[in-house]
Amino acid sequence: MNTLEPEAKTEAKAKAEPRQEGKAKPKGEAKAAPSSSIKKKALVTGVIVLAALAVLVIGFRLVRSWENSKKDPNQLVLYGNVDLRQVDLSFNDSERIAEVLVQEGDRVKRGQILARLETHRLKPEAEEAEAEAEAQQAVVQRLHHGSRPEEIAQARANVASAKADLVNAEQQWRRLTALIQLTSGRAISQQDLDAAKAAMGMAQARLEVSEKALDLSTIGPRVEDIAEGVAQLRAKEAHLELLRRELTDANLVSPCDAVVRSRLLEPGEMVSPQRPVFNLAITDPKWIRAYVSETDLGKTHPGMKASISTDGFPGRTIPGWVGFISSVAEFTPKSVQTEELRSSLVYEIRVFVKDPQDELRLGTPATVSLKLNPTGGSQP
């Protein structure tokens, strides 16, 4: 009984093992089935993606060929951006801002005052310079007019008085000389005779001085004195004009009709010629900056009529004309989209446009259509 029991156990174990293997095999097959399904799905997805890409490429080529077939051979289409001139406006002097009179977006006219500087110290200086110029002007006028009649008459009277003194001095000297001769020098001393002779010489000198003064009064001032006075007057007037110019420059004036793009400084800030106060956009003239390839350069010329359209105004065109064609080739800017390669050489052209309502903004993308005909009219 003991020997049979192990054998029975061995047979039972052997019978049990195949059963277990048989049960494990379907389990392995269950794991392999999902992997095969994923591969099939990936393959199908790849085929679909490739087919979609092929359809897109074919469609793109068809659209390009359709667009090319729609192109008008008598029309040249260019792409560019709206451009205009700008002005950085600053004061000529260094001073503190008193007031700023305009805001961003305001339309300003030529000659309109936009801002003012403080002038508390400049006005007294200008008044002082004006007074000095007026005083020097009076001096020059006096030099030009010469002596007054009353001054000449006064000089003549001085001459007559000097002559009378001289006559009196001579008579006195003669009387004393005669008395000395009659009395042999006993009636008068030599000192009295010398004093009379000196008085006569002094009277003669005063007469000569009076006569020269009369001549100067009659002739008038020297030419050199007049020239000196005129030069000093010009110097004072130039200084006055400079101060007046500084007073005028204290008002910042718009040089043209424009729109205020930026207000850069405020009241109370110090300014200098290097610090702009405003940035102005000149709305006229305004143009579209576009680029034309070398192959199309011969088809364009100044004065050609053009039609401009933008995305902001669909279905609307604005008339314009070609006003400038660059004589220097350059590489196409990256901001410009053309059908040619970006690295190709192109020429800048400017298509001018009238925009009185200021609807075209700086940098706005625009499409320019040029009519290619031999009789392109020019802008009147």
Question: Domain holding 298: CATH number?
Answer: 2.40.30.170
21 shares its domain with 53: yes
Tell me, yes or no, whether 47 lies in a domain: yes
- Are residues 3 and 80 located together in one domain of the fold? no
In this predicted structure, what is the pLDDT of residue 345?
80
Q: Do 364 and 288 have their domain in common?
A: yes
Q: What is the pLDDT of residues 159-191, one digit of tens each?
A: 888 888 888 888 888 887 887 777 776 677 778
Q: 237-258 burial string, b = 16+ CB within 10 Å, else e?
A: bebbeebeebbeebbbebeeeb
In a domain, 172, yes or no: no
Whether 333 maps to a domain, the answer reads yes
**Do 288 and 353 share a domain, yes or no?**
yes
Look at residue 253 and tell me if it is in a domain: no
- Could you say which residues of the chain have pLDDT below 50? 1-33, 69, 340-343, 374-380
Calculate ∠ Cα 56-62-64, nearest 5°: 100
Predicted confidence at residue 380, as pLDDT, reads 39
Q: By residue range, what is the domain housing residue 11?
A: 1-70
Of 45, 70, 95, the residue that ends a domain is 70
Whether 37 maps to a domain, the answer reads yes
289 and 367 together in one domain: yes
The structural domain count of the chain equals 2
Cα–Cα nearest to 287, from 315, 332, 336, 321: 321
In this predicted model, what pLDDT tens digit does every residue of 40-92 receive, in sequence order? 777 778 778 787 787 776 765 665 555 554 556 778 999 999 999 999 999 99
- Domain boundary (47, 70, 93) is at 70
Is residue 79 located within the same domain as residue 43?
Answer: no
Instruction: Say yes or no: 328 and 352 in one domain.
Output: yes
- DSSP β-bridge partners for residue 307: 319, 369
